Structure 1
């Protein structure tokens, strides 16, 4: 079977956060960096850690643990910033670690269950089944809160 004959697939960047596996669609991902020097911004929402200078561009950085109301954790050498671009808005998201780039068939994605731990279901697109693993698919538009970003 040729690649073009394969069922509809989604390519995802998988990452960890508070012991759970999450993923975002790779077409949003611009790059993945080690934790960079973050400059705090006064009066930013509680989940915005600040901004970084990414090759001359000022990029806001969201702490995904805070956004998902998860307990705080010290950064480690595995902590990463995933730089994503959603509808012309570039943002960094801090995660505990990036695990892999993977593909799953679209048929392996189900709507989010009634509860996904303490994470608000608005932030979840669905759950992807990858063998015995479950990947929680993040809704980046809701995480970034595009309405607020476009106003600000």
Structure 2
């Protein structure tokens, strides 16, 4: 069974918006598997500083990445208000620790602007673009870049 997509459907993306400190970010909703409240993690020895540890998710061991620390911000001090966004990239499932999920957005691809050239190479590698919407500036995360092993070092387990 195939579904016909209109040109407008193809041009629109659904994104999940979340906060890290005072900044808003978003990622493609198709890569999100679940959103859970903060659960304390079990630390992993010799992992990268942005890997908070692992949690048990329905019998599977899942690494949790402090997205603020991964993006170069101050590490999060997790509390009951924090959430873990369970994401899937390829065959890898990872939890992203964020301050809060704020919105589900529908944007057309024309409203996503390129990451400014004044950003560092690393910042441009992690960002697909920036969305100016309703007086907000929302950075679109390139989830595959955030989670790749060669940029992440050896901190993320398989």
Question: Which category describes the TM-score, using the shorter chain as reference length?
Answer: 0.7 to 0.9
How many residues are matched? 149
CA contact (8 A) 1:84 1:92 kept: yes
Separation (CA, whole Å) in 2 of partners of 1:74 and 1:110:
31
- Indicate yes or no: 2:132 matched with 1:122: no
Q: 1:133 aligns with which of 133, 136, 142?
A: 136
Aligned to 1:85: 88
Structure 2 SS opposite 1:141: helix
Shift of 1:120: 2.3
Q: What are the ranges of 5 or more consecutive residues in structure 2 without an aligned counterpart?
A: none
Separation (CA, whole Å) in 2 of partners of 1:116 and 1:19:
18
Give the TM-score normalised by the residue count of structure 1: 0.88
Aligned to 1:23: 26
Structure 1 SS opposite 2:146: helix
Shift of 1:75: 2.6
Q: 1:47 aligns with which of 46, 50, 74?
A: 50
Q: What are the ranges of 5 or more consecutive residues in structure 1 without an aligned counterpart?
A: none
Structure 1 SS opposite 2:6: helix
- Indicate yes or no: 2:7 matched with 1:33: no
Output the aligned Cα RMSD.
2.3
Give the TM-score normalised by the residue count of structure 2: 0.84
